[in-house]
Structure 1
Amino acid sequence: MILRPYERTIFKRYLLPARGEGFIFVAASFSFVAVMLGVAALVIVMSVVNGVRGELFDKIVGLNGHAVVQGFGGRIDNWRDVLKEVRATPGVTSATPIIEQPLLTTFNGRVEGVAVRGMLVDDIRKNDVLKGEVLQGNLNRLTDGSGEVALGSELARNLGANVGSQITIINPAGRSTPFGTVPREISYSVGAIFEIGVYDFDKSYIIMPMADAQLLLLTGDQIGIIKVQTENADKVGEILAPLSQKLAATAIVADWRSTNSSLFEALEVERVALFVILSLIILVAAFNIVSSLIMLVRAKTRDIAIIRTMGAPRDSVLRIFVAIGVAIGVGGTMVGLILGFVALYFRKGILNGIGYLSGQNLWDPSVRFLTELPSKPNPVEIGVVVVMTIVFSFLATLYPAFKAANTDPVQVLRYE
């Protein structure tokens, strides 16, 4: 908003407190702080929610793929032919055969339920989620017949195992004898410990070469699923539609939306609800701007009448008070953005500090899925917050500004 020189002078004068106007300044300060806190809260919460969704998506999809091809009965016999068919589908960037089974593992008397996943050696080494998250050991140690496996960090911690430890994996579906079924027990050496960052995966997953997994599970040359990566995760249904028709008689194609729909839908509902609820803080701040400007107009009625008598038009008075309200909104928005980004940068320390003072674990990985609090600011959402705040601030100025502009100098100065 462009102000004339004399309008800028009056604008600056009314923004700063004069003697006897401390109460008006305090009310305006509350409006500024309310806008600041509302913007900061929206930036922090929306960035954290986006970070949680993005982190979960990257980890889950990175480990399980955009889609999976699963054979009827949980087994794919002619998996090499199916794998060629999947890789030949337009839009598919990679396809990984996997065999997975829930089993038991024991070490030093400790027993844990695990999910044993067998993968081809090259796929283990090329997996972006795994290779970038190795805490100890090396994935290159996992080769066919080596007896080496990789453990999730939480699983290793629960077992008390380290790289080089000998763990035993128990397959209840062992060989049949006259006395019943004897569980199959095979010892493996821990070759690597990884931390994906998703608690449920880190506490249960054991990764091993495909040949070793097939030997442990007695499946022969079979696999359970084929993990599929596509060019566009949002269009995975369209990309894999022809494949679903080709494999209708032998396998089911399920994308990430169907396998994790409840989780991501809940996150999306929570995201929208939090945005609406926190936007009410900015709306309350706008009402504070209205009240502070009304108080300012009542305190400056005589000054407004004198200005009008000296020749100032109505639109000048209107612009002055609109500029005051918008300045409070813009100033609060800018400071709120800075406060929000600072809080996001130091979010881990702030979370730990609050947890220390309250004596509570505010980010329990077993409840929150992720081991750390993520953050992913969205420029579009931040832009919406900024525009929304400035628009609310502008609308809040209209009633007080029109009241000021419609001041009748004759009525005000009649008895002066």
Structure 2
Amino acid sequence: MANPAPFSRFEWMIAWRYLRARRAEGGVSVMTWISLIGITLAVFALIATLAVRSGFRSEFVDTILGANAHATIYSAGQGTEGAAGTRYIEDYAAMADRIREVPGVERVAPLVKGQVMTSFNGATSGVEVHGIRAEDLQGVRRVVEPIESWGDLSRFGAEGVAGIAIGSGVARELNVAVGDVIRLISPDGAQTPFGTTPRVSNYEVLYVFTAGRYDIDRTRVYMPFAEAQTYFNADGVATELEVIVDDPEAIDAYTMPILRAAGPDAILWTWRDASGSFLRALDIEDNVMFVILSILVLIATMNIVSGLIMLVKNKGRDIGILRTIGLTEGSILRVFFICGALTGVIGTALGVALGCLFALYIDPIFSAVNWMSGGNAWDPSIRGIYALPAELQWGDVLSAVVLSLGLSFVVTIFPARRAARMNPVEALRYE
């Protein structure tokens, strides 16, 4: 008579009956439930953490790339020196034209930057002014397409309009709204026989934006380029060139071509140079968290071993009878392997479902947690962004599933082998 195929119907039937064992039969069902809940929570925690990690990194990088230059060109030459030792770029128009010819460069914009004090009705705040042309400002995605905005950006740079665009954090600090006129005070003003006098100018707030990054919204002010040149005593020059490329993730590949086009006196600073240490810290933290949560999954799957050992002990007589009527060691091993593997599969599936639901509905969950904590669950001044993001990536889900099922299957083999190698004579000796 031919041996039955592996994982035959009767093996599944026996395993299912064992999984539904009553408490009077040794509490095996209780251990099964503990294993199931443990694996579910461990897989849920792993997927939720990976989703938040991916979301935080994506949001952080997107705010960097959406409101800042992918690469910035400074001058290291012997040209005009401005306030605080700033080296001005005198031939910025010709340099920008050369850089635009580099394949992959999408936009090059001259800027005049400076730090000033703003004042309105007795409130003051330090800000960073970005002097930029109106057409170049249209390429700053996080300003043109912000989370929230007020006012009309089309008036920015219009002839006869002395107006600026400010971040929502600046507006909140000064308690200003669109249409208000604020005062900008620069310590490096006009040169007089008596020294340098502060420059004080008034500007109408034309546009208020929320870029999604606290430090940007709290300090960023955009001024028309020509007005900034006059305000900062930088007539006919720029402090830097802002370069936007097609693929910012591959910015390192653009470095040498841009430098060659810019000239020998150029210094290039990429967004990875500015934020690389933070991103590397995130990667290290991600790896550590994955290892820690993997250990939690391992601990949860170890409960399967405890439950199977109890099951084997309680079913010793049944094993002896099954071996006597002709079941092979392989069949017994597969029966108990199915018992443990089913627990792992069901627990993993439930954990994946909970983790995916958490990632998809993180906004209402976060709002509820923030409400219960009195609104202090997330401080954007510390976190940098305004909400807890989550991005569900199928690679993360797959890694969690493979880890959980792999551990569940591996730990199940050992008690299943013990059951398969049980001597039927010894099992029935006292029956």
Q: TM-score, normalised by structure 2?
A: 0.92
Alignment partner of 1:365 out of 380, 385, 389: 380
Deviation at 1:343, TM superposition (A): 1.9
* 1:125 corresponding residue in structure 2: 138
Deviation at 1:232, TM superposition (A): 2.5
Q: Count matched residues.
A: 416
Alignment partner of 1:180 out of 188, 195, 198: 195
- The 8 Å contact of residues 125 and 140 in structure 1, kept in 2 or not, is answered as no
* 2:113 corresponding residue in structure 1: 100
- The 8 Å contact of residues 309 and 409 in structure 1, kept in 2 or not, is answered as yes
Cα distance in 1 for residues equivalent to 2:107 and 2:260: 19
Deviations 1:101-154 (A, max 9, x none): 111111111010001111111111232221111421121110244111111111
Alignment partner of 1:143 out of 126, 136, 157: 157
Alignment partner of 2:301 out of 286, 290, 303: 286
Cα distance in 1 for residues equivalent to 2:213 and 2:20: 52
* 2:427 corresponding residue in structure 1: 412
1:67 aligned onto 2:80:
no
1:110 aligned onto 2:114:
no
Within-5 A mapping of 1:29-40: 29-40=33-44
Alignment partner of 1:386 out of 395, 401, 405: 401
Deviation at 1:229, TM superposition (A): 2.2
Deviations 1:264-284 (A, max 9, x none): 111111111111111111010
* 1:78 corresponding residue in structure 2: 91
Root-mean-square deviation (CA, aligned residues, Å) is: 1.8
Matched to 1:250, the amino acid is D
Deviation at 1:21, TM superposition (A): 3.4
Q: 1:126 aligns to what SS in structure 2?
A: coil
* 2:167 corresponding residue in structure 1: 152
Q: Which runs of 5 or more residues in structure 1 are unaligned? A: none
Matched to 1:32, the amino acid is L
- The 8 Å contact of residues 194 and 202 in structure 1, kept in 2 or not, is answered as yes
* 1:9 corresponding residue in structure 2: 13
Moved more, 225-234 or 326-335: 225-234
* 1:323 corresponding residue in structure 2: 338
Matched to 2:19, the amino acid is L
Cα distance in 2 for residues equivalent to 1:300 and 1:349: 48
Cα distance in 1 for residues equivalent to 2:156 and 2:231: 15
* 1:264 corresponding residue in structure 2: 279
Deviation at 1:314, TM superposition (A): 1.1
Deviation at 1:326, TM superposition (A): 1.3
Deviation at 1:22, TM superposition (A): 6.3
Deviation at 1:181, TM superposition (A): 2.3
Within-5 A mapping of 1:391-406: 391-406=406-421
Deviation at 1:312, TM superposition (A): 1.0
Q: 2:228 aligns to what SS in structure 1?
A: helix
Q: TM-score, normalised by structure 1?
A: 0.95
* 1:273 corresponding residue in structure 2: 288
1:57 aligned onto 2:61:
yes
Deviation at 1:222, TM superposition (A): 1.3
- The 8 Å contact of residues 197 and 372 in structure 1, kept in 2 or not, is answered as no
1:21 aligned onto 2:21:
no
- The 8 Å contact of residues 209 and 217 in structure 2, kept in 1 or not, is answered as yes
Matched to 1:242, the amino acid is P
Moved more, 72-81 or 146-155: 72-81
Instruction: Go from structure 1 to structure 2 and tell me whether the alpha carbon gap of 1:334 and 1:93 turns closer, same or farther (over 3 Å shift).
Output: same
Deviation at 1:415, TM superposition (A): 2.6
Deviation at 1:359, TM superposition (A): 4.4
- The 8 Å contact of residues 124 and 139 in structure 1, kept in 2 or not, is answered as no
1:375 aligned onto 2:390:
yes
Cα distance in 2 for residues equivalent to 1:248 and 1:321: 72
